[in-house]
Amino acid sequence: MSRKDEPEISTVRLPGTGWVVQWRSDGYWRDLNDAQHRDEQSGVHLPAEEDWTRWSATLQPQARGGEWGGVTTWWLIHGELPEDGETPTVVLADGARPVVHLLGRVWACEWQAAAQPLTVHVGGRQFDLPFTEPHYLRFSG
């Protein structure tokens, strides 16, 4: 594929976590951490085609977390927008509504807090994420 035929890539870097979400003009997207993005920008690593996911309007959000035990840390959740493009709403158990970033047909949201349950409303559906310490960690040590 020649350079002019390559799809355009749009990027958003989330300011707190440094996590990167990318949207390609041909309908593919991906998320990656800051270190991987830096390696790609410097030419150390080149992304493979299988690093990209075709947008499918699958509404199930994906989450990445910080630390357990009441520690204030960064949390991240992201996913695909529904067919109608409705912007998701993220509501933490404490009532906070962190900013939702949109890029192409995907979204991402980050916040800094202690682990707490949250609800995502998108595309007429509701996703409840407990964000509670996993059972196997509670009894270690």
pLDDT for 139: 56
pLDDT for 2: 44
What are the phi and psi torsion angles at 35 (to 5°)? -65, -45
CA angle 47, 74, 96 (to 5 degrees): 125
pLDDT for 133: 75
CB-based burial, 36-59: b 16+ in 10 Å, e otherwise: bbeebeeeeeeeeeeebeebeeeb
Handedness of CA 137, 99, 58, 118 (dihedral sign): positive
pLDDT for 45: 86
Q: CA-CA distances (angstroms) from residue 30 to 23, 85, 131? A: 7, 18, 23
Distance CA 49, CA 26 (A): 12
Distance CA 7, CA 63 (A): 27
- Which residues of the chain fall below pLDDT 70? 1-3, 135-141
Question: Domain tally for the chain?
Answer: 1
What are the tokens at 31?
């998320």
pLDDT for 138: 55
Determine contact, residues 51/39, Cβ cutoff 8 Å: no
pLDDT for 43: 87
pLDDT for 100: 97
For residue 116, give its domain range. 3-138
